[in-house]
Amino acid sequence: MVQVVVTGAGRGIGLEFVNQLSQDSENVVFAVVRNKSKIEYLKPIADERSNVHVVEADVTSPQALEQAAKEIAEITGGSLDWLISNAGGVTDPSITIADPNVSVEKVGQDFLDNYRWNTVSHIYANNIFLPLLRKGKEKKIINISSGIGDEAFTRKSKITINAGYASSKAALNYNVLKYAIELEPEGFTVVALSPGFVDTSKTRDGPVPEGMAKIFGQLLDGFKLAEPEWDGNPITVEDSVTKQIKVIKKLGPKDSGISTSQNDSSEIWL
Ligand SMILES: NC(=O)c1ccc[n+]([C@@H]2O[C@H](COP(=O)([O-])OP(=O)(O)OC[C@H]3O[C@@H](n4cnc5c(N)ncnc54)[C@H](OP(=O)(O)O)[C@@H]3O)[C@@H](O)[C@H]2O)c1
């Protein structure tokens, strides 16, 4: 039985974490969503299962996360076993770091937006839930990252687009290591976990933006360069989350600080 917080729980990978973890009625699952009035995919699960609690917080707001932690602590008695800090995403995927056709202000702003969304928001969540995790049994902090932020993968894939996002995830991986070192004396396990290349289209809001086909094409070419054995297809969100939960269960303090994938590997990201 674990008490677990999942951020970004209204759609995609976060939603599937809530779905699979709450299938065990012993678990208590806190689904943190940006907007409680927009949870069409989560609502059926939350309505059906009494072990799912929906809590509102924008992860870029420390105040909102503090309020969420307060609400959660009231239900758990002040403890928490796992934090799955999952919320995040790509801002403008077309941006490369040195495109002469894009102003330096625009590139800089995209990096700042990505860092705020994919790096700093995890620091907020990790630190704000730390007091609860200290009182928990398992002390696991999982920050959902991406293979795109891995240095070796980047050297092989030669992907230039998604520059701000990749950089923000690389910084996230580094921060995980810093947490691991600082929290080692307390027995924490802090890990950056990549979900793979996941098809989340079932819960996507609206159509794919124009120009995305070209961007996807570049990504796929890079993926094949990096991992020639890859079959060329994204994995399902169900498969990704099943594998990730298996990895999270297996992880312990000796693994703290690593960046790994749904494949339980720091080399196979797809
Ligand atoms: N899908 C992939 O192939 C893939 C690959 C590598 C890494 N990842 C990582 O996996 C994580 C989940 O991605 P996904 O594919 O499931 O994305 P998604 O389908 O776009 O879902 C993202 C979720 O995060 C929530 N969210 C975004 N910003 C938020 C904020 N400021 N405050 C609170 N919630 C927020 C969204 O809430 P709303 O519903 O309110 O928008 C949504 O529920 C991300 O960290 C992403 O970088 C995904």
- The CA distances from residue 86 to 45, 121, 190, 221, 229, in Å, are 18, 10, 14, 26, 28
Note if 178 is an active site residue.
no
60 lines ligand 1 (CB under 6 A): yes
CA of 193 to the centre of ligand 1 (A): 14
168 lines ligand 1 (CB under 6 A): no
Domain count, the chain: 1
CA of 46 to the centre of ligand 1 (A): 19
Coil, helix or strand for 146? coil
Angle between helix axes 121-134 and 163-183 (nearest 10 degrees) is 20
Q: Name every residue whose Cβ is closer than 8 Å to that of residue 5 and which is 6 or more positions away in sequence.
A: 30, 32, 72, 80, 82, 83, 84, 125, 129
What is the span of the domain harbouring residue 104? Answer: 3-261
Is the residue at 69 inside a domain?
yes
Q: Which atom of ligand 1 is nearest to the CA of 234?
A: 3
Q: Are 84 and 6 in contact (CB under 8 A)?
A: yes
Is the residue at 270 inside a domain?
no
Is the residue at 7 inside a domain?
yes
Element (H, E) at 55: strand 52-56
11 lines ligand 1 (CB under 6 A): yes
Is the residue at 91 inside a domain?
yes
Report the length, in residues, of the chain: 270
Active-site residue among 169, 243, 256, 261? 169
**Distance from C-alpha of 143 to C-alpha of 99, rounded to nearest angstrom:** 30
Note if 246 is an active site residue.
no
Q: In what order do the strands lie in the sheet with 189-194?
A: 52-56, 28-33, 3-7, 82-85, 140-144, 189-194, 259-261
For a pocket test of ligand 1, which of 56, 121, 146 has the largest count of ligand atoms closer than 8 A to its C-beta?
146
**Distance from C-alpha of 116 to C-alpha of 59, rounded to nearest angstrom:** 10
Is the residue at 135 inside a domain?
yes
146 lines ligand 1 (CB under 6 A): yes
Is the residue at 164 inside a domain?
yes
Is the residue at 268 inside a domain?
no
User: Which residue's CA lies nearest to atom 2 of ligand 1?
Assistant: 198
Position 24 scores a pLDDT of 98
Q: Are 59 and 8 in contact (CB under 8 A)?
A: yes
Task: Report the 3 state secondary structure along 225-263.
Answer: HHCCCCCCCCEEHHHHHHHHHHHHHHCCHHHCCCEEECC
Written as tens digits, the pLDDT of the chain (270 aa) is 999 999 999 999 999 999 999 999 999 999 999 999 999 999 999 999 999 999 999 999 999 999 999 999 999 999 999 999 999 999 999 999 999 999 999 999 999 999 999 999 999 999 999 999 999 999 999 999 999 999 999 999 999 999 999 999 999 999 999 999 999 999 999 999 999 999 999 998 777 777 788 888 999 999 999 999 999 999 999 999 999 999 999 999 999 999 999 999 999 999
Note if 169 is an active site residue.
yes
- We report the CATH number of the domain holding residue 201 as 3.40.50.720
CA of 86 to the centre of ligand 1 (A): 7
Phi, psi of 60, rounded to the nearest 5 degrees: -90, 5
- The CA distances from residue 161 to 27, 36, 95, 114, in Å, are 39, 33, 5, 13
Position 212 scores a pLDDT of 81
Position 158 scores a pLDDT of 97
- Residue 260 C-alpha from the chain's centroid: 12
- The CA distances from residue 180 to 111, 174, 230, in Å, are 25, 10, 31
Structure tokens at 21: 């973890």
Position 207 scores a pLDDT of 73
Structure tokens at 40: 């069409």
Is the residue at 269 inside a domain?
no
**Pick from 27, 240, 242, 236: nearest CA to 136:** 27
CA of 87 to the centre of ligand 1 (A): 5
CA of 191 to the centre of ligand 1 (A): 18
Position 208 scores a pLDDT of 75
Position 214 scores a pLDDT of 83
122 lines ligand 1 (CB under 6 A): no
